[in-house]
Chain A
Amino acid sequence: MSPFEAELYTEYQAVLLEVLVPYWVQKRIPEVRLVWREVLATKDGARSCEAAFTRALRVRRSAGETVRMGIAKADPAILSLKKALYNRLGRRHDLMTAFIGRTATVGNEQCPYWPDFAYTEPPRGGNVKAGR
C-alpha cells in the first residue's frame, strides 16, 4: 500500500465507522472509536476492511455510498464489519448506558446501591404482623 493509499485507507475506516455509527453518536460516546479500532485490529476485521477498501477504490461512488450499498447488497466484508462492531458495542454495557444518559436504575428511590436513595415509611405500629 502506497503512502497515499494508506492515508486514503485511514480515511475510509473513519467513513465506514460514521456510516455504522453516526457522528452525533460518536460525539456522545467517543469510546465507540476505540471499539472500532479493536475490530480493525482483529485478523478478520483487518481483512474485511481491506477488501471493502479495495472494492471502494474501483467504483465511482463516494466511500460512504459504497458502505451503504454494501449493506443493501449484503457485501460479506461490510456485513462482517458491521456485525463485529455491533456485537462489541452490544456487549459494552457502559457505552449503552452512556448513550441513554443514565444507568438502568438511576433515580430509583428505593435502591441503596445508588447515591441519594430514599425509602418509604416504616410499617404502621412499627412491627411486622406476620408470625404473631
Chain B
Amino acid sequence: LTRDDRNDRTRRADVCVIGGGLTGLMTAKAALAAGKSVIVVERGREYLPQSQDRKTWWKEAVVAGPEEADGYRHYRNTFDEAAKHFDDLVENESGPPPWNFAYNMWYGIGGASQMWSGLSWRLTPGDFRTASQYGYGTDWPIGYDDLAPFYSRAEHFLEVSGPAPEVRAGYRYWPWDNDFTYPHFPLSYLDRRFQEALGDLGELVAQPHAVRNKPADEGGCVGAKTCVKFCASKAIFKGNERILPDIMFDPNLEILFNTAVTRLDWSNAEGRITGLQAVTHGEDAPFVIEAETYFLCGNTFENIRLIQHSEARHGRPFGAASPLVGRYFSSHGAVTYTVVMAEDVYPARGRPTHASVIEWVNRPDGAQRGGVTMEVWNSDFTMGYAPWQHFQAHAAQGHWGGHLFNLLESYERRFCISMIFETEMTADKRVTLSPARVDKFGIPVGRVDLGQSAVDAATLAQAEALAARIGARPQLADFFENGRGINGNHPLGGLRMSDSAATGVVNARCRSHDFANLYILGGGAFCSTGSFNPTLTIMALAIRAFEDPDLGWADVPF
C-alpha cells in the first residue's frame, strides 16, 4: 500500500443507500438483483427483543414524552429499559398548537417497519387528484392507475391478508381491485357488537394487513397482539426480518451500522450528487462514500433534515428545488375516543385492529374537505392494555374502594376508536432545523410546524360530527375524547413529487429533479396525505422508482 491508499478511507460502491429501513432494504435487494454493489448506511443497530420473555411483549412500546422548552414542545422518546436497547432514540420539536407532532420511532435496521402494525391500505383514486376533484391541494403528477400495478406487486411481496372479491362485493365502499394473498382476519366479537351500535352510520370493513393469515403452526398470526413491536410467530412483515435475511450474506452488500450520513455533497452545475460524508459513532474521523447512484431512504423527516443540514454546512442551495425542501409537509390528524359499551364486548383479543369505516372517504366532488376513516382499537390503550394496567391507571387517578373496582369492571366494555383524517399540505406546513438542539451525530433536531388550514378545519368538523353521532348511540354507556394530534408516525410530503423543480423535489419516479443520480424514497414524495396508512403507497412508489428506465435495473425482485 502506498501512503495515499492507507489514508484514503473513501468507500466506493455502485449504489449507496442512506437508511436501512423498509425502502432502504428494498433498494438494496433490487440493486443487488441488478448486479450492483451496495453500501447501506444505517444510523441505528439491529434491535432484538427478548423473544422468549412474554413479559417484554407488553413492555416494548415506544412512547414520546413531551417537555416544553424555548416555546416549543420537544419530544424525546422513552422506552422501557431504553438504555439496555438504545443509545439513540429519535427526537424532534413540535410547533405551537393546534397540532403537536409526536414521532414515536427508534433508529435501527428495518426502520419504522419494526413498529408498523401492517395496515396496507391503498390511497383512493381521488387522493391523487384532490385539486381537480375536491378543490384543494395539488394533483399528483401520476394517477391511481399509474400506481395500481405497483400496489399489487407490493401487496404480493408483503403477503397481505385482506377481503376477497366476493367479500368486498358486499361492502358499501371499496374503491380498489386487490388481489390479496390471504383471506382477511375475521372481525372480532367487539367489532360485530360495535357495528350493531353504528347501525347505518358506517360500515366496518376488514382491514388489509401485511400479516400472514394462515395456520399458526405454519407461521401465521398467533394473535399475541404484539405486532407493533414484536411478532411472536414472525407473521407480520418487518423489513429486518423479511428482507434482510435474503440479502445480508451477499458479498456485494456492505451495511455500516451505527453510522450516520452527516453531509451530502453535490454539484449544481453537473446536476449530480458527488459523494457524502459519514461518521461511525465513537470514531472521530468522518469518511467519504462515493457511488454512481444514491438513494435517500431515511424517514421523510430524516431525509429533509439531512438535506437542510447539508445546505447549511455547504452554504449553498440543494438545486433549484431547494426552497421546496421541507415544504408541504404534513401527516394524518387523529382524534381518539374511549368507547364504553353498555354490555361486555371482551376487548383485547386477537390482532390489535380488525375493522375500519372507510366509506366516509367517499365525499362529493368539490367538497373542500378531506377524507375521514375510523379505526377500531380492541382495547383502551390510553389506560394500558391489560386489566392490571387499567387498575394501576385508575388507582393513579385517585380512585379507591368500591368505585375503583367498579371502574375496573368497565374493562370488558371499554375500547378506543380513532377518527383519522386527511390534512391539507400547504406551503406553511414545514420541517426546519432546530436552532438549538442537535442529536448525537451533531445534526440539528428537526422542528415541525403544522398549522390548520380551512380545509383541515372542515375535515376535523366532519370527523367530530360523525363521532358525536356515534357517541349518541343507545348501545354506548359512555363516550369521550381522550386525545388528538397529528400522527407523527406518518410523516408525508416535504419532498414532493412534481413535473418540475419549480413545483417539487422529485419526479414521478422519485428521482430528484436537480440531481440525476439521486432518488428520494419514502413518504416525502406524497402530494396529498390521503386518509390511509401510507406504507403500501411508499412501497409501490419505491418499486416504480426501481423500474425507472433512466436507472436501467433489470429483474426488479418485487
Contact = CB atoms under 8 A, between A and B. Distances in A.
Contacts of B224: 105, 111, 113
B182 A100 contact: no
A123 B217 contact: no
Contacts of B405: 21-22, 25, 99
Contacts of A123: 181-183, 214
A109 B350 contact: yes
A118 B386 CA distance: 23
Given A96-B391, A107-B349, A120-B183, A71 B223 contact: no
A47 interface: no
Interface string A19-60: 111101100000000000000000000000000000000000
Given A90-B388, A96-B388, A130-B181, A112 B159 contact: no
Interface in A81-113: 82, 86, 89-93, 95-97, 99-100, 102, 104-105, 107-113
A72 to B, nearest CB: 10
A91 B400 contact: no
Contact of B349 (A19, A21, A22, A105): A105
A130 B350 contact: no
Interface residues of A, number: 41
Nearest to A25: B405
B387 A99 contact: yes
Nearest to A97: B387
Contact of A110 (B164, B218, B221, B412): B221
Contacts of B251: none
A100 B387 contact: yes
A128 interface: yes
Contacts of B385: 104
Contacts of B386: 93, 96-97, 104
Nearest to A113: B222
B157 interface: yes
A130 B156 contact: yes
B215 interface: yes
B240 to A, nearest CB: 17
A128 B408 CA distance: 44
A127 to B, nearest CB: 9
Interface string B394-427: 0100001110110010011000000000000000
A129 B223 contact: no
Nearest to B156: A129
Interface in B370-405: 385-388, 390-392, 395, 400-402, 404-405
Contact of A104 (B183, B222, B387, B395): B387
Given A99-B408, A109-B350, A120 B186 contact: yes
B498 to A, nearest CB: 32
Contacts of A131: 157
Contact of B388 (A19, A21, A92): A92
A128 B159 contact: yes
Contact of B400 (A71, A99, A128, A130): A71
Contact of A107 (B346, B387, B388): B346
Given A86-B395, A93-B388, A96-B388, A121 B349 contact: no
A112 B400 contact: no
A119 interface: yes
Given A119-B215, A129-B159, 6 more contacts: A99-B387, A105-B223, A105-B225, A110-B351, A117-B216, A124-B183
List of 7 A-B pairs having minimum Cβ-Cβ separation, nearest first: A110-B223, A96-B388, A90-B392, A96-B387, A112-B216, A86-B395, A22-B402
Interface of A: 19-22, 24-25, 71, 82, 86, 89-93, 95-97, 99-100, 102, 104-105, 107-113, 117, 119-124, 128-132
Interface of B: 156-159, 164, 181-183, 185-186, 213-218, 220-225, 346, 348-351, 385-388, 390-392, 395, 400-402, 404-405, 408, 411-412
